[in-house]
Chain A
Amino acid sequence: MRIQRRLTTPRWLVVAVPVASLIAAFAAAAIVLLIAGKDPGATYARLFDRAFIAPGAITSTLITATPLLFTGLAAAAAFRMRLWNIGGEGQLYLGAVGASGAGLFLRDQPPAVIIAGMVGGGLAAGAAWSSIPGVLKAYFKTNEIITSLMLNYVAGLLLTYLIFDSRSFWRELGTFSARAFPQGKQLPDAATWPTFDLGVAVIPFGFLLGLIAALGLWLFYRSTSFGFQARVLGDSPSAARYAGIKTRRVVVAMMALSGALAGVGGASEIGDFRHVLDPRGLQQAGFGYAGIVVAALARYNPFAVAVVAFLLGGLANAGYSLQGPDFPAGLVGVLQGMILFFALGGELLLRYRVSFRARLAAAPS
C-alpha cells in the first residue's frame, strides 16, 4: 500500500469522506464494544441522545463547546500561518484571570460595562501571555512550540498561586468557607453573562461571541491586508520579506491574536459558567489542549472549528453519561478516541491517495 499526495481533491470526496469515516468510526468502535460485552446500538443511541437530542442536551453540549470553540479558533488562527502556538491552555487561564480581575474591579458598574470589561480583560491577558512566545520567536528565534507549551505550566502555577498560595486580589479571604478552603472571590451577579433561550437550547453569550470571532477570523484571513500578510508569511517567509512585510510584527501580532482568542475563551468560562476564578476546575478541564485537536480536525477553517467544537463538546458531554460502574471511563475514552482517529484518518484520504499495490501489476491500466 502506498500513499501519494493528491494534486486536487474531487468534490464528491469532500462530502463522502467525512460521512464514510464517521460510519467507519462507529463500526470499528462497535467491535470494541461487542468485545467489551456492550450493546453498540444502545450505547450509540444513548451517546447521541445525551449529546444532541435529550431535553437540555444541546444546552449542556454548548457548555463544553464554548471553550473548545475559542481554543480551537486560537489554534487555527496561529496554525494557519504555521505558527505553532501550543499555549492555548495557559492563555485561557490568563484570560480567566484577566476577566475575573476585571469583573471584580468593575463590580459596581452596570452589567454592560462589567461584561465588556471582562471580555476586554480576558482578551488583553491572553494576548499578553501569548505575546511572550511571540516576541521570543520574532526577535530571538526561539521555538514557539517549546516556549508556549512551557508557559502553560507557568500559567497553571500562577492560577494556583493566586488562590492557594497568596493573598491576591482574586482570593476570597473574608468568608469562613474560604478561610477553611481557599477560594476565589465570587463575581457579582451583574458580571454573569447573558444567555439566549431558543427553546431547544440555551445559548451562552460566550458561544455567540465565539461564532462572531469565527466569522471575524475568516474575514481577517480572507479580506484584510494584515491577514494577507499573515498568509504570505506562513507560506514563504522569504517572499514576505521580499514583499516588504514586517515579518516580526506579523509574528507577534498573530501570536497575540491567537492568545486573545484563547483569552476570551477564559473570560467566557468565568462570565458564562464559573463566576469565580477556579484554578482546579480550569486545569482539570484541559480545554486548551483539546482546542488543538479541534483546530486540526477543522483543517484550520474557522467555521469548521465551530462545527467540530460543537460535535466534540457533545461527545465529551455524552461520554460522561455513558460512564458507570460497568462502563469504565477508559472505555468511553477509547470510543471517543476512535471517533477522532477515524475522522483524522478520513482527512488523510482527502489529501492523499492511497493505492493498494497489486503483485501482478504488469498489466497496463
Chain B
Amino acid sequence: MKRVTVLALAAMAMAACGGSSGGSTASSSAAFKAAWVYVGAASDAGWTKAHDDARLYVQQQLGGQLVTTFKENVPEGPQASQVIDSLVADGNKIIFGTSFGFQDQMDAAAKKYPNVYFEQATGFKMETNLAEFFGAAEDADYLTGMAAGAASKSGKIGFVAPFPIPEVIREINAFALGAQATHPGATVQVIWTTTWFDPAKEKSAAESLISAGVDVLGQGQDSPATGEAAKAHGLKWSGYDSDQTSFAPDQWLTGTVYHWGPYELTRIKAAMNGSWKSGSYYGSLKDGFVDIAPYGKSVDASTQAAINAKKAALINGTFYEFTGPLNDQSGAVKVPAGTKLTLDQILTMDWFVKGVIGNPKGS
C-alpha cells in the first residue's frame, strides 16, 4: 500500500512539473501518425467496428511507417473539438471523423490546424485540408434486398430503421426495389427507432415487426440487435455496416458493408508523401468501397448467381436501381421510364417507392 501511495504521489508531482510523457500508443518518432474519432464503441459490431476494421487494415498495410490511434464514444459537439485538439497535440497528422455530427468540429479544426489533414466520413463541408468521403451504400442495399426478397415466403419484409432522413430513405428504397426484383410484389414495412445505436430499442422494434407478420428482417441500424430478434424467432435476417454472420449464422443472409480501409490507405499515403488534395469521394461497388457481406448458408446458389449478376451489372454501369419507371407509395409515377435519378436527387430523397409501408416523414 505504502509503495503505491508513494507512486501516486510521485505521479502527481510529475504532473505538477508539467511532464507529459507516456501516451496511448508506443511511438517511434519517425512514424506518421493517424487518428480516428468514433462516435460509438470500437466494439459495437456495426458502424464503428467497420471504421476500426479500416484502421487495423491501414495499420497492417503500412506497418512501422504508421502509428494509429482512436478515441471512442466521443459525443458530438464541443467535446469532439477537445478530442481533436488533444489528437493534434499528440502529433497526429491526419484525422478521420466518422460521424456526420463531427462535421462542424472537423471543419473548425481544419481551419485551426492548417498543417493537419482532416477526413470527414459523411458530410458536405470541405476545406483545403478537409476532405469528405462516403459510399453508395444503396447499390449494396439493392443486392441485400434481393437476398431478402428471395428468402421471404410471404413477401412481407420488415426493416428496422434509425431516422427518417434521406440517407436512410434511399437505403430502404434500394432494399425494397431489390426485394421486389426477386419477389415481385414484396412489401417492406419500416419502423423508425429514432436512434442509431440502441440495441434494446432496435430489438423491440424488430419484435414488433415480427408480430406484425413479416418473415424476413432487414436493418439500417448500427447494432446487430435485429439479428438477435430474428434468431430468437427463426427468421432470416440481413445486416448492415459489417459482416455480422456470427450473431445469427443460421439466419444470416448478407448485408451492406463498408470497406473504408482502401480509401483511407490511399489518403494516408498521399498525406505521407505530400500529394494529399481535398475532395469529395463517393465510393461504390466498383472500387470495393461498399460491398455485400459473405452470403449466409441459407442463400441458395441460384439467388447467389442472380445477385452476383446484378452486382456485375451495377459495377459495369449497365444497371442502376434508381432508373424509371419508379412509383411512389401511392402508385403514382414518380420517375418516368428511362429517367435516372441524379446523385443530388438521391442524396435528398424524401419519398418511399411503392411497396414500402411506413411514413418517410417519420413516425
Q: Do chains A and B touch in the complex (CB under 8 A)?
A: yes
How many residue pairs, one in A and one in B, have C-beta atoms under 8 Å apart? 179
Given A56-B85, A320-B86, does the pair A157, B194 have CB atoms closer than 8 Å?
yes
Q: Which among A45-53, A106-114, A213-221, A240-248 touches the partner chain?
A: A45-53
List the B side residues contacting A148 at CB < 8 Å.
none
Which DSSP category, helix, strand, loop or mixed, fits chain A's interface?
helix
Q: How many residues of B contact A (CB 8 A)?
A: 64
List the A side residues contacting B71 at CB < 8 Å.
320, 323-324
- Tell me if B250 is interfacial: C-beta within 8 Å of chain A: no
Distance in Å from the Cβ of B352 to the closest Cβ of chain A?
16
CA distance A26 to B12 in the complex (A): 9
- Tell me if A212 is interfacial: C-beta within 8 Å of chain B: no
A325 touches B81 (CB 8 A): no
The B-contacting residues of A in range 230-287, CB under 8 angstroms, are 269, 272-274, 276, 278, 280-282, 284-286
- Tell me if A208 is interfacial: C-beta within 8 Å of chain B: no
List the B side residues contacting A45 at CB < 8 Å.
11, 14-15, 19-22
A317 touches B82 (CB 8 A): yes
CA distance A286 to B90 in the complex (A): 27
A165 touches B362 (CB 8 A): yes
- Tell me if B89 is interfacial: C-beta within 8 Å of chain A: yes
List the B side residues contacting A326 at CB < 8 Å.
24-26
The B-contacting residues of A in range 141-182, CB under 8 angstroms, are 157, 160, 164-166, 176-177, 179-182
Q: Which among B136-144, B161-169, B225-233, B316-324 touches the partner chain?
A: B161-169
Given A45-B19, A165-B362, A320-B71, does the pair A27, B82 have CB atoms closer than 8 Å?
no
B76 touches A278 (CB 8 A): yes
Q: Which among B2-10, B204-212, B285-293 touches the partner chain?
A: B2-10
CA distance A285 to B362 in the complex (A): 25
A50 touches B194 (CB 8 A): no
Closest A residue, CB atoms, query B35? A324
**Residue B76 contacts which of A284, A316, A325 (CB distance < 8 angstroms)?**
A284
List the B side residues contacting A361 at CB < 8 Å.
none
- Tell me if B305 is interfacial: C-beta within 8 Å of chain A: no
CA distance A22 to B9 in the complex (A): 10
A41 touches B14 (CB 8 A): yes
The A-contacting residues of B in range 78-123, CB under 8 angstroms, are 78-83, 85-86, 89-90, 100-101, 104, 122-123
Given A27-B4, A50-B86, A280-B101, does the pair A44, B79 have CB atoms closer than 8 Å?
no
Closest B residue, CB atoms, query A31? B4
CA distance A102 to B166 in the complex (A): 29
Given A26-B8, A41-B10, A329-B41, does the pair A63, B344 have CB atoms closer than 8 Å?
no
- Tell me if A14 is interfacial: C-beta within 8 Å of chain B: no
- Tell me if B124 is interfacial: C-beta within 8 Å of chain A: yes
**Residue B166 contacts which of A49, A157, A179 (CB distance < 8 angstroms)?**
A179
A48 touches B12 (CB 8 A): yes
Closest B residue, CB atoms, query A44? B11
* Chain A 33-60: CB-based contact to B (< 8 A → 1; otherwise 0): 0000001111111111110011110001
Given A280-B101, A320-B82, does the pair A27, B70 have CB atoms closer than 8 Å?
no
CA distance A44 to B10 in the complex (A): 9
- Tell me if A327 is interfacial: C-beta within 8 Å of chain B: yes
CA distance A40 to B104 in the complex (A): 35
**Residue A30 contacts which of B4, B83, B89 (CB distance < 8 angstroms)?**
B4
A325 touches B8 (CB 8 A): no
Given A325-B25, A326-B25, does the pair A181, B77 have CB atoms closer than 8 Å?
no
**Subset of 13 A-B contacts with CB under 8 Å:** A26-B8, A41-B14, A45-B11, A45-B19, A49-B18, A56-B85, A64-B78, A179-B348, A286-B75, A321-B24, A321-B83, A323-B70, A324-B24
Name A residues whose Cβ lies closer than 8 Å to a Cβ of B. Answer: 23-24, 26-27, 30-31, 39-50, 53-56, 60, 63-64, 157, 160, 164-166, 176-177, 179-182, 269, 272-274, 276, 278, 280-282, 284-286, 316-317, 320-327, 329
Name B residues whose Cβ lies closer than 8 Å to a Cβ of A. Answer: 1, 4-5, 7-12, 14-16, 18-26, 39, 41, 55, 68-83, 85-86, 89-90, 100-101, 104, 122-125, 163-167, 194, 344, 347-348, 350, 361-363
